[in-house]
Structure 1
């Protein structure tokens, strides 16, 4: 299940992950290759891993095909991990578990639950929980390396906060379920059936014109009270409900809807020190070279050599 907000967040995460590694379904190959780089061995010469009509597919054939199609990106990603790690060690840069946890919580914003976030990462990128965490550590480390030596003054932070104060005001998060209909009359009929005691989730599965939310009983996850992907009237109505209340018909982009408020969460305001730290890091990143350029420069600094195709160095 994914809402319109989640689709946008998912796309951002995908682009970020592609810039970092382009792993996806290639993790098995890359982990084996990393083992070889570290002096590890792979048991067996080339066992059969599949058959079709009695014709075998060997592990070597599979690995060769992966290398031809995606090996460039995986190899560069592996080398980037190595050189960024070297530079971080040289600069005394490290990332704490708490910082990783905070970044993951930020990444999960807009998802109904932690489980849904990790399920999405698994289905879209082929990344397990552990691998998502590893990539988060890498990304934070790369950002720290890229911004090393860049100074941001307290006045710079003060100016940014003065111009963007509303950004750090906690916003209500509304957990909603929805039944979408093609027109006002159909939405009215849904309201009538709900008022007669019929189950919301069952009606969503039966009647909702939005197939994605309908198959999940109408659940669309958490929305911020000013989410730009949803009509203002719908969000304002939802914000005025108590958990369990139903409202509708409400105009949507594709017709009309009936909503039920499941839960309201008002996040605690972040500590001032945390806000200033976040702003400092963001302003430093704005002044830093693009991260892909930093990776390229580090590969050059640490004399990376690629023997299969020198064009990868470009």
Structure 2
């Protein structure tokens, strides 16, 4: 699970990334449908693609529904890729493989592993590794086009770092399990039973008052060490544990808790050069026009035309 890291620096970039990747997933998911709309059905492909209760669903039914619901978004995304590519070529902008890999690595921060990151992108956004790479390249290209000609002084970077130094450092990530109780004595009994060898997940399912985590054996997933949604003292205690350690009773807003640290991830601290590059890019984006406006302006600049009947989108 992804947690909130480097909030001050990365909020705008993360929000943009999510929006772009979701649209990108829609684009790639719908490419076959758009091809079919042009009459490019694969040779020998059956007309019926599904059936329920003896009633078939044809390629035409499917693609018509895709076009009706998502046609505008997919078409605009395709046009944006074209015009941004043209503008990047005119400006001599080319995103390198190193930049793409660096951005993907940043996106993986907070996930248990690279495989977990790609698996979640596949399940949530429908993007394969290659498709995710292509959309990352597009996003970086769009940002480079939007910020072309904007310069940030070293003094501006220094000022930003001075004001946001602590917020820029990635935080520890902790995978926690929890058992909550209404009273201190109940939490003490939980500690006693755990010390006698009872299974944490089984005990959480039996006695925990937290409905959501109880259904998962007490597991609450990955939590950042400064997550504002959990008690500060509990997170400080958890950050000082080793994997498998149990602590409690700990006071919470609604009672008491016993926690177990399942896994601790201490992220690699960015070097100064990388940190300054990230700050410089963020400051450039703050001065640039909104990225959707950049795409809109580029569609106008390159004489974009749409030759479809708008009623198809009704």
Shorter chain as normaliser: what TM range?
0.7 to 0.9
Pairwise mapping of residues 233-312 of structure 1 onto structure 2 (< 5 A)? 233-308=233-308
Corresponding position of 2:128 = 128
Unaligned runs of 5+ in 2: none
Aligned 1:144-183 pairs, distance under 5 A: 144-183=144-183
Deviations 1:139-171 (Å, cap 9, x if unpaired)? 111111111111111111111112122233453
Q: Retained in 2: the 8 A contact 1:21–1:74?
A: no
Q: Go from structure 1 to structure 2 and tell me whether the alpha carbon gap of 1:267 and 1:19 turns closer, same or farther (over 3 Å shift).
A: closer
CA distances 1:91-122 after superposition (whole Å, capped 9, x unpaired): 22222333223323333333344444334333
Is the partner of 2:204 in helix, strand or coil?
helix
Could you give the per-residue CA deviations for residues 69-104 of structure 1, whole angstroms, max 9, x where no partner exists? 111111111111121122222222222333223323
1:77-156 alignment, distance < 5 Å: 77-156=77-156
- Whether contact under 8 Å (1:87, 1:145) holds in the other structure is yes
Which residue of structure 1 aligns with residue 201 of structure 2? Answer: 201
Which residue does 2:43 correspond to in 1? Answer: 43
Measured after TM superposition, the shift of residue 34 of structure 1 is: 6.2
- The CA distance in 2 between the partners of 1:27 and 1:289, in whole Å, is 27
Cα gap change, 1:180/1:137 in structure 2, threshold over 3 Å: closer, same or farther?
A: farther
CA shift in 2, pair 1:289/1:122, >3 Å: same
Question: Is 1:224 matched with 2:224?
Answer: yes
| CA drift at 1:276 | 1.0
Q: Could you tell me how far apart the structure 1 residues matched to 2:153 and 2:167 are?
A: 20
The answer (yes or no) to whether the contact 1:21–1:77 under 8 Å persists in 2 is no
The number of residue pairs the alignment matches comes to: 307
* Structure 2: distance between partners of 1:3 and 1:20: 15
Q: TM-score, normalised by structure 1?
A: 0.83
Deviation at 1:287, TM superposition (A): 0.5
8 Å CA contact 1:46, 1:60 repeated in 2 = no
Partner of 1:29: 30
Moved more, 42-51 or 13-22: 13-22
Structure scoring higher RCO (CA < 8 A, sep ≥ 6) equals 2
Alpha-carbon distance in 1 for matches of 2:131, 2:252: 38
Residue 170 to residue 53, structure 1, CA distance change in 2 (3 Å): closer
Structure 1 residue 15 displacement after superposition = 6.8
Identify the range of structure 1 (177-186 vs 294-303) with the bigger mean alpha-carbon deviation: 177-186
Q: Aligned in 2, Cα 1:233/1:18: closer, same or farther, shift over 3 Å?
A: same
Compute the displacement of 1:278 (Å): 0.7
Q: Which runs of 5+ in 1 are unaligned?
A: none
Q: CA RMSD in A?
A: 3.4
Q: 1:25 to 1:268 in 2, by over 3 A?
A: closer
CA distance in 1, matches of 2:209, 2:131: 36
1:34–1:104: structure 2 CA closer, same or farther, 3 Å change rule?
A: farther
Q: Structure 2 matches for 1:56-71, cutoff 5 A?
A: 56-71=56-71
> What is the deviation of 1:210?
4.4
Q: Point out the more displaced range, 63-72 or 120-129.
A: 120-129
TM-score w.r.t. the length of structure 2 is: 0.83
User: SS of the counterpart of 2:23?
Assistant: coil
User: For residues 206 and 16 of structure 2, what CA distance do their matches in structure 1 show?
Assistant: 35
Structure 1 Cα separation of the partners of residues 192 and 55 of structure 2: 61
Question: CA separation of 1:68/1:170 partners in 2, compared to 1, >3 Å: closer, same or farther?
Answer: closer
